[in-house]
Amino acid sequence: MPRRNRIKSAEPSERGEPTAAPLGGSLRRTENYQGDDWVVQTVAGTSGRSYRCPGCDQEIPPGVGHVVAWPQHGAGVDDRRHWHRACWGARERRASNMLRGRGAPRY
């Protein structure tokens, strides 16, 4: 039988890494965006619905993994936004005119 030479590492919070809570097979974390704290959750995209990414204004088809983000304080279901993973990562580098407003139609 092979030996296990792995060293048991400390918990993520002890190493100074952000902790993420698994929720239904996805990860939830808090990130800063436009001076506010946002809850960011990675989803598998298995709901069968398509969404419109506010970063690039393109459709996220069903079955494609993506990110759901909403403001941490005072957020309801209507404040959730579905982003492509790359668009969420590039959100600070995009021009402000590329982002959709809250009054824009939802698809």
The per-type count for the chain, helices as H runs and strands as E runs, is: 1, 7
CA distance 59 to 66: 11
Model confidence, pTM = 0.62
Structure confidence at residue 21 (pLDDT): 44
- The per-residue pLDDT for range 2-34, each reduced to its tens digit, is 677 766 665 554 544 444 444 444 588 998 887
* The pLDDT of residue 95: 61
